[in-house]
Amino acid sequence: MEMKSIIEKKRDGYALTKEEIQFIIKGCVDGTMPEYQLAAFLMAVYFRGLNKEETAELTLAMADSGEMLDLSAIFGMKVDKHSTGGVGDKTTLVLAPMLAACGLPVAKMSGRGLGHTGGTIDKLESIPGFVTNMSREQFISQVNEIGIALAGQTENLVPADKKIYALRDVTGTVEQMSLIATSIMSKKLASGSDIILLDVKAGSGAFMKEETDAIALGQEMVEIGLMADKETIAIVTDMDQPLGYAVGNALEIRETIEALKGNGPEDLLELCYVFGAYLLVAAKCEESLEAARIRLIQTIKSGDALKKFVQWVEMQGGNPLVVENYNLLPKASIVMDLISESTGFVERIQCEMIGKVCQKLGGGRVTKEDSINLSVGVVLHKKVGDRLEEGDVLATLYGDDLDHMKEAKDMLFSAYHLSKTPVTKRKLVRWIISKNGVEKY
Ligand code: URA
């Protein structure tokens, strides 16, 4: 077998065999395949696509390219929830303790933020002392002890994706649907959970700007999951404005703790109730979505989810006192308000721009190697549909560098689009994709 004819075959629109796909992944991981051939292959896929069988084979070959986590030593069903990436998305941080408080173990590997999107690992690391590097043994014993563990992806988890993703990033091939689906699902399959819930974001702050593309991506990923015998549910949700109000690592931890104390924000809690309900039913912990929702709400009302969060922070070396004292979190030195210059309603918020504002303040990476400032970010005070008067505070910026803050303020201002007439609130949860097909929520 040789790579040149495989590239030509894909270039000419033919389907590849399982053996050819395995040959590509082997060459990619053992270093025998030159990067220019892999790049040419990715471009051929970009234009010709992959059929269902090729997508499935590529995902399996990628998942198998490194360590496959064996979580069978964890008692009961294990669930994983994954977001395709958004702005202000701290759902995992609220949902994981809620589920653990319901007795459903959460064993999750997360990533860091890149570009305008945030990452759960960075958010957790803004809690002083919190460690996300864990051995497999520690990870498993922690899930068995408290029902929850969250770690950074190990070096050897899907090495093929690391190589392919880096090449896609520099060859203009990131946006190919099957490549996104194989990238995400290979990591989910290698991470060993029994049930996978995929939050597929749609809108100006997401990978998928169009809802129809988000649905198609959800369908591809669910098909891959089912083919690999994993219960997989994809939920298409709105990312046309940030989730909650806070965007920025330490600021989002604060909002997470407030949510666990029952103080909202409403959209964040709603997403947790919806995702949690589907997971509890899929894991057979509850018979109906309605009953599951009531149980999840109870974990907030009773304080059990907050207690679980405290236990989790403590187990991973973090300072649990942050829950009572937000001054223990990293704090920006400059605070600046953005004031509305007119009266009206928020019609639209360019969500990607809000992520870029956070990046400009130093809270996001341009390349994977960048270090970030965990204290900086934005807190919005007005979201789509909200009424505002001239002179109202639209948002507050938190930063450490005045020049960057001035630029960020202009960017933030340009992200807000106002209307003179009332605007309806955005629908948060749009579509449910599962073995039963695509259903409107
Ligand atoms: N997230 C991933 O892990 N891979 C992609 O290709 C896109 C989003």
pLDDT of residue 207: 87
Distance 174 CA to ligand 1 centre (A): 8
Digit-coded pLDDT (tens) for 81-130 = 999 989 999 999 999 999 999 999 999 988 888 778 888 999 999 999 99
pLDDT of residue 118: 83
Contacts 24+ apart (CB under 8 A), 371-376: 372/113, 372/122, 372/249, 373/330, 373/332, 373/400, 374/122, 374/125, 374/126, 374/249, 374/250, 374/330, 375/126, 375/248, 375/249, 375/250, 375/329, 375/330, 375/331, 375/332, 375/400, 376/248, 376/332, 376/400
pLDDT of residue 8: 98
| In contact, 113 and 301? CB cutoff 8 Å | no
pLDDT of residue 399: 97
- 113 vs 125: CA distance, rounded Å: 12
Instruction: Identify the residues whose C-beta falls under 6 Å from ligand 1.
Output: 84-85, 180, 183-184, 207
pLDDT of residue 154: 83
**DSSP code at position 320:** G
Ligand 1 atom showing the smallest separation from residue 183 Cα: 4
Digit-coded pLDDT (tens) for 144-200 = 999 999 999 888 899 999 999 889 988 889 889 999 999 999 999 999 899 999 999
pLDDT of residue 103: 96
| In contact, 362 and 413? CB cutoff 8 Å | no
Q: Which position among 80, 89, 122, 161 bears the catalytic label? A: 161
pLDDT of residue 94: 98
398: confidence class by pLDDT, cuts 50, 70, 90: very high
276: confidence class by pLDDT, cuts 50, 70, 90: very high
Asked if 82 is an active-site residue, the reply is yes
Q: Is 82 helix (H, G, I), strand (E, B) or coil?
A: strand
Ligand 1 atom showing the smallest separation from residue 174 Cα: 6
- For atom 7 of ligand 1, the residue with the nearest CA is 180
pLDDT of residue 365: 82
pLDDT of residue 53: 94
Ligand 1 atom showing the smallest separation from residue 179 Cα: 6
Asked if 293 is an active-site residue, the reply is no
The angle that helices 159-171 and 18-30 make with each other, rounded to 10 degrees, is 90
pLDDT of residue 179: 95
Portion of the chain with pLDDT greater than 70, in percent:
100
- 386 vs 20: CA distance, rounded Å: 54
Digit-coded pLDDT (tens) for 1-56 = 999 999 999 999 999 999 999 999 999 999 999 999 999 999 999 999 999 999 99
Asked if 295 is an active-site residue, the reply is no
Asked if 417 is an active-site residue, the reply is no
Among 117, 124, 145, residue whose Cα is nearest residue 317: 124
Q: Which position among 183, 186, 204, 340 bears the catalytic label? A: 183
Predicted TM-score (pTM) of the model is: 0.95
Distance 198 CA to ligand 1 centre (A): 12
Distance 130 CA to ligand 1 centre (A): 25
Cβ-count burial 405-425 (b if 16+ within 10 Å, e if not) = beebbebbbebbebeeeebee
Q: Which of 188, 207, 368 to mutate to test the pocket of ligand 1 (most atoms within 8 A of CB)?
A: 207
- For atom 2 of ligand 1, the residue with the nearest CA is 184
**DSSP code at position 68:** -
The answer to whether residue 383 scores a pLDDT higher than 90 is yes
How many degrees, rounded to 5, is the angle at CA 163 between CA 157 and CA 165?
A: 95
> What's the whole-number mean pLDDT along residues 268-278?
98
> What's the whole-number mean pLDDT along residues 367-377?
88
Distance 179 CA to ligand 1 centre (A): 8
Average pLDDT across the chain, whole number: 95
Asked if 161 is an active-site residue, the reply is yes
Is the torsion defined by CA of 269, 271, 272, 274 positive or negative?
Answer: positive
Neighbouring residues of 121: CB distance < 8 A, sequence distance ≥ 6: 110, 111, 112, 132, 150, 152
Half-sphere exposure of 163 (CA within 13 A, CB side): 25
- In this structure, what token pair is assigned to residue 228? 């690999």
At 196, give phi and psi (nearest 5°). Answer: -120, 125
Q: Which position among 187, 201, 308, 430 bears the catalytic label? A: 187
pLDDT of residue 153: 84
Alpha helices in 90-210 (DSSP H): 91-101, 120-125, 136-146, 159-171, 177-190
Q: Which position among 81, 82, 308, 409 bears the catalytic label? A: 82
Residue 331 backbone zone (phi > 0: left; psi -120 to 50: alpha; other: beta): beta
- For atom 5 of ligand 1, the residue with the nearest CA is 180
Q: What's the burial of 325, exposed, middle or buried (CB within 10 Å: 0-12/13-18/19+)?
A: exposed
- In this structure, what token pair is assigned to residue 111? 């990533």
The answer to whether residue 58 scores a pLDDT higher than 90 is yes
422: confidence class by pLDDT, cuts 50, 70, 90: very high
